[in-house]
Structure 1
Amino acid sequence: MTISWEDFRARVVERGEYRGEAEADHATRVVLGLLGEHLVGADRGEIADALPPTYGSLLRDARPAAEPLTAERFVLGVVGWIDGATPATVQWDIGAVLSTVADLVPGELLDRVIEQLPEGYDLLFGHPTSV
């Protein structure tokens, strides 16, 4: 059973300390949409299955990116989609969303996803890997 859309959003609101649900929902849609462009194969579907359908579809429906973004470029990509955002505020947004995702998926799936992404995404998910 997956978490409800309302419960997922409530967790993001709490972690991101958002003033409202709409702000958290927008950040979630931006982060997951961009992440979906960089995940491939069955792992992408497995993560999507762990999310509420509204958010899972953002991963499934994203067109694959021509090339993977570094973690730094991922942050800058999100900045472009959130009004008034800075790299620092977007890191907070990304952390609120991706740490919520990380809590919902099995550890081995999260490890596989982090392995397929460029260096630095482990920190964005709130699960730093050892050096």
Structure 2
Amino acid sequence: MITDVRVPLEHQQPYTAAYGQMLDKVRYEGAYPTRERADEAVRLVLSGLGRQLIGDERVDLARCLPREAARVLTAQIPDTQPLTGWAFVKDLAARSGASLATTRWDTGSVFAAVAAHADPELITRILHQLPTGWALLFGQAELTPAT
């Protein structure tokens, strides 16, 4: 269960077409029953990502995303100590009250949509900025340099 403060439906602004398409992708990837459930996942995961990204990667990703998603990402103050991929999932689960499995599912579903909006080079830059474990969250192999 996600416990953020919600705006009553009658006061919500309609989504832009681009954000609606992003929600549809997340809904499809995550097999969510409603667009509202996909929106909850997007807001949870992007707010968490916003606490992890800094610098040009943060700005460039915000430019790629629909306006509503970019606002969620950039509204967060980055943490001083970035989390590993697994610690990120555990942090989101603790904040939302959801299980680790559900939170991991939400993360993968949202990051699939994020990767569809950003070019592969930007995703690579983001993954190089973050600690280990993030590539798997983006559906990529975790590559380590040969020694």
TM-score normalised by the chain length of structure 1:
0.92
Report the Cα distance in structure 2 between the residues aligned to 1:99 and 1:38, rounded to whole angstroms.
18
Q: What per-residue deviation string (whole Å, max 9, x for no partner) do you get for residues 57-98 of structure 1?
A: 122221011211111111011112334x21111111100001
Report the Cα distance in structure 2 between the residues aligned to 1:17 and 1:118, rounded to whole angstroms.
29
Identity %: 34
Deviation of 1:18 (Å) = 0.4
2:81 corresponds to 1:67: yes
Equivalent position SS for 1:128:
coil
Q: Residue 25 of structure 1 corresponds to which residue in structure 2?
A: 39
Q: Residue 110 of structure 2 corresponds to which residue in structure 1?
A: 97
Whether the 8 Å contact between 2:133 and 2:142 is mirrored in structure 1 is: no
Q: Which runs of 4+ in 1 moved over 2 A?
A: 80-83
Whether the 8 Å contact between 2:92 and 2:103 is mirrored in structure 1 is: yes
Equivalent position SS for 1:80:
helix
2:30 corresponds to 1:16: yes
**Structure 2 unaligned residues grouped into runs of 5+:** 1-16
Report the Cα distance in structure 2 between the residues aligned to 1:35 and 1:63, rounded to whole angstroms.
10
Q: Which has the larger radius of gyration?
A: 2
**Structure 1 unaligned residues grouped into runs of 5+:** none
Report the Cα distance in structure 2 between the residues aligned to 1:18 and 1:82, rounded to whole angstroms.
17
Number of aligned residues? 129
Q: In angstroms, what is the RMSD of aligned CA positions?
A: 1.6
Whether the 8 Å contact between 1:27 and 1:82 is mirrored in structure 2 is: no
Paired residues for 1:77-92 under 5 Å: 77-83=91-97, 85-92=98-105
Report the Cα distance in structure 2 between the residues aligned to 1:46 and 1:32, rounded to whole angstroms.
14
